Amino acid sequence: MSAARSQRIATRARNPKWQQVPLRIEMLECINCDACLRACPPQFGAIFNHGADVIILPELCSGCDKCLPACPVNCIYPFPEWATSEVPSDWWDEPLGSDDPYV
């Protein structure tokens, strides 16, 4: 795992150099195929299984769009309001947890 990812996890802060907005998964449209999770580059490691849902932590998402073509149902969208929308705090249990697919 990259030191930069570890730092973003520790501070829960997005890299200010990233120009693209992070992405989000519309859970009502998602079919839980995990294709997006497998497509997410490990240096970002932003997509996780969280219970029955698949989630993207915006602070870890660079907006690289690698997950978009992998999604068979096109349920991944830009999340420009991420800075004013708070993700549930329990989402942060996933990075570095026992099921973190990027470590």
Q: Tell me the domain boundaries of the chain.
A: 3-85
Q: CB of 70 within 8 A of CB of 36?
A: yes
Q: How many angstroms separate the CA atoms of 74 and 70, rounded?
A: 9
Q: What three-state secondary structure class fits 97?
A: coil
Q: Is the dihedral of CA 73, 47, 27, 59 positive or negative?
A: negative
The domain 3-85 is placed in CATH, from the list 2.70.98.50, 3.30.70.20, 3.30.70.260, 1.20.1560.10, at 3.30.70.20
pLDDT of residue 27: 95
Whole-structure pTM value: 0.95
pLDDT of residue 2: 84
Block means of pLDDT (10 residues each) for the chain, 103 residues, are: 91 95 97 97 96 96 97 98 93 94 92
Q: CB of 60 within 8 A of CB of 5?
A: yes
Q: CB of 45 within 8 A of CB of 39?
A: no
